Structure 1
Amino acid sequence: MSLSAQLSEGGGAPEMGDLPSPSLVGSPTPALPGPPVPPAHRIYFYSSSEWETFIAEWATGVAVSYRQIKQLGGSGDRGVDIAAFKTDRGLEDAWDCFQAKHYAGSLSMSDAFPEMLKVFHGVTEAFYRLPDRYVFVAPKGCGASLNRLLSRPTALQKKFLELLDAEAAATRLYDAQTLQSIRQLAESSDFSIFQSLELNEMLDVHRTTPYYAARFGTSLPARPPVGQTPDAPAPSEAIYVKKLVDAYHEQAPATSSDVESASAHPKHGPHLQRQREAFYSAEAFRLYARDSVPEGTYELLQDDVYTGVVDTAEANHPSGLDRLRAVLTQSGQLDLGAHTLISMSNLKDRQGICHQLANADKLTWVAADE
């Protein structure tokens, strides 16, 4: 069974730890003449840090029930670049280690041996417990010799112990007592935890994450249809619906005093229904963004909509409904072309975002002095 298949067992969405929020509103890839550069070729030019970030993004797409994924590589990382935790106890409980090696060529046993020493040393010194999987991740993969060893855990264990006893160069970093502790642990360990991962497998999984389109400048996935708007407002709609009813009540206090009477009003009822449909369209858009683009991207769009309409909302208007109509009109005129997401939206989404902002108490239609 391939590593990708093994990692597909289980379920659950992990939390990404210590990775930066999206800093770009649109695609980070500039438009250049000539044929597009395939993702695999782009990866060959990554820095070591960018390669680690890519691996952390990839790990969010596997189906293992990770609670959190952390990028730990750097000085004093104890041989851990990417740690994927399966419980809230982090390194003290079940976890997987993804070791990033961005080399020009494929990995050999001479590359792997020092890293294996580090992980056994980390366990003997109680920095962490032995991971369930220790995966070497390199753009060019592992060489034939190392791949054969990784496919035969017993042979890999024998080779590791031979190098340990032969005092290979990497062992000079440890004193005799430490090496003896490492040997005792290695003799009792299951070397099937050491695995490798191919780049094509990684790209297949990364393509399913919210990071793929932004990282490689590809088209966003198709947006699913918006579901049916419920007949009655849900508790999560309470704030923005109340603000709409306040605007209707201002116009017709005798016949639009609450949701039920406003819904039955010949003019306000259809208007309320359209606003709720817009809200649900924006909610569907938000969920689509959650699964298609990096975390925080949709919130950046919301922030720009708010910035674009807040002055209109705070201006003087004859009534709350006039304020609402002016804000909705303004939302449709905003230049949001810098946002990659906007290509997947429609006018109803923009209006729905205004109601999301109202639901978050950032916009109000009937001002206190009206």
Structure 2
Amino acid sequence: MNKKRITSHQVNYGKRIAPIKTVELFSADEWEDFIEEWTELKKSLYFETEKFGGAGDKGRDVVGYKSDKNLSDYKWDCFQCKHYETPLRPTQVYQEFGKLLYYCYLGEYPVPNNYYFVAPKGCGTSLSKLLQNEEQLKEAIINNWDLYCKSKITKEPIELKDDFLLYVQNFNFRIFSKIHTKNIIEDHKVHSNHLTRFGGGLPERDKLSEDDIPDSIQTNETVYVKQLFKAYGSQNGEKYENKEQLDEVPHYSDHFDRARISFHHAEQLRNFSRDSLPVETFEDFQNEIFDGIVDIVDEDHSDGFVRVKEVEKEARKIVIASNPLKDVSIINDRSGICHQLANDKRITWT
């Protein structure tokens, strides 16, 4: 059975606020940032993503480019971000329809493949019905142009007549639709900022057993392994080049096995952090260990193996107060990070 480690957050705070409720507390800017993060996950769909927002966006908040944006006829999707306390109503977005129609008419940008409304509380019944019926949507925009669009897009009034009216009448209104917030949140779970936005504590971390450690030395282990061989040799004058030679000296062999276990624990923690937290979180954790052991590394020791053991001992004592990984880290991680640092050539044993 695959056992999980329980985090201190789960014990201390219990049930957390649902993300679907948390997004309602976002500011408008936070909502746009959140949608931008979500589009970043859609690399299979988009060549590039970009957030405009603010004055001068010409009706574009977040954009997903399906082709090179430097081409005149690039393909793209538009995500219109609205953050209101209630579901969106047609009167709140007529201006957004108008902006897109007007700037596409002027050729400021191509007609998007899709134009999505994204709002924490979604679209209300009236707007949803319009989005499902292109003829009714077209009629509603034309009938409401003077009230909600004519004087709301540019400083000069925009009359809906002549060529522009003909353009609107022939426009493909099927591009307009909505995306449910719950689906966005579900997709966002794999983003490294998900936990920093919604909290709730880290997920359970898988336990790592000796059976999970490969028998053979992996390519990503060669540097710290060679350093350990030199450390052992510095104590007794022997030259070690492989694990089999260590079998003749049980306390070297046993230590080597423990070192590999701890290294793989630290590697697992690195991967766990990469999947759950911003990229710099593990680096910060690793740097705190480095700062705690570097003076011990630099001290005089009778041999390299003594230095290894003293550094590992010190690493296990270090108290990490703020890094979120403290809730899921174990003693083996700290020893393992010492060997990661050796593997990265930040420290040496001899």
Give, in whole Å, the separation in 2 of the partners of 1:127 and 1:229: 58
Displacement after TM superposition at 1:112 (Å): 2.0
Q: For the structure 1 residues 274 and 110, does the alpha-carbon distance in structure 2 shift closer, same or farther, using more than 3 Å as the test?
A: same
Displacement after TM superposition at 1:218 (Å): 0.2
Displacement after TM superposition at 1:163 (Å): 4.2
User: 1:300 corresponds to which residue?
Assistant: 284
Pair 1:269 & 2:253 matched: yes
User: 1:197 corresponds to which residue?
Assistant: 179
Displacement after TM superposition at 1:312 (Å): 1.6
User: 1:309 corresponds to which residue?
Assistant: 293
Displacement after TM superposition at 1:165 (Å): 7.9
Matches within 5 A, 1:52-71: 52-60=32-40, 65-66=45-46, 68-71=48-51
What RMSD, in angstroms, separates the aligned Cα atoms of the two structures? 3.4
Give, in whole Å, the separation in 1 of the partners of 2:314 and 2:129: 64
Task: Decide whether the 8 Å contact of 2:151 with 2:158 is kept in 1.
Answer: no
Query: In the TM superposition, what whole-angstrom CA distance separates every residue of 1:25-52 from its partner, at most 9, and x where no partner exists?
Result: xx9xxx99x9965444443332211122
1:209 aligned residue (191, 205, 216): 191
Give, in whole Å, the separation in 1 of the partners of 2:312 and 2:138: 67
Unaligned runs of at least 5 residues, structure 1: 1-26
Give, in whole Å, the separation in 1 of the partners of 2:290 and 2:321: 15
1:343 aligned residue (305, 327, 348): 327
Task: Decide whether the 8 Å contact of 1:83 with 1:97 is kept in 2.
Answer: yes
Task: Decide whether the 8 Å contact of 1:113 with 1:160 is kept in 2.
Answer: yes
1:80 aligned residue (60, 68, 75): 60
Q: Normalising by structure 2, report the TM-score.
A: 0.81
Identical amino acids, percent of aligned pairs: 30
Pair 1:49 & 2:32 matched: no
Q: For the structure 1 residues 207 and 97, does the alpha-carbon distance in structure 2 shift closer, same or farther, using more than 3 Å as the test?
A: same
Displacement after TM superposition at 1:161 (Å): 4.3
2:124 aligned residue (143, 146, 171): 143
Instruction: Give the number of the structure whose alpha-carbon radius of gyration is greater.
Output: 2
Give, in whole Å, the separation in 2 of the partners of 1:181 and 1:295: 52
Displacement after TM superposition at 1:147 (Å): 0.8
Give, in whole Å, the separation in 1 of the partners of 2:203 and 2:261: 23
Q: Normalising by structure 1, report the TM-score.
A: 0.77
2:115 aligned residue (127, 134, 154): 134
Matches within 5 A, 1:192-271: 192-226=174-208, 228-256=212-240, 258-260=241-243, 262-267=245-250, 268-271=252-255
Task: Decide whether the 8 Å contact of 1:71 with 1:81 is kept in 2.
Answer: yes
Give, in whole Å, the separation in 2 of the partners of 1:260 and 1:132: 60
Task: Decide whether the 8 Å contact of 2:150 with 2:158 is kept in 1.
Answer: no
Task: Decide whether the 8 Å contact of 2:75 with 2:113 is kept in 1.
Answer: yes
Give the aligned residue type for 2:24. Y
Give, in whole Å, the separation in 2 of the partners of 1:214 and 1:71: 20
SS at match of 1:44: helix
Displacement after TM superposition at 1:149 (Å): 0.9
Displacement after TM superposition at 1:247 (Å): 0.9
Q: For the structure 1 residues 112 and 300, does the alpha-carbon distance in structure 2 shift closer, same or farther, using more than 3 Å as the test?
A: same
User: 1:358 corresponds to which residue?
Assistant: 342
Give, in whole Å, the separation in 2 of the partners of 1:135 and 1:222: 35
Displacement after TM superposition at 1:128 (Å): 4.1
Give the aligned residue type for 2:292. G
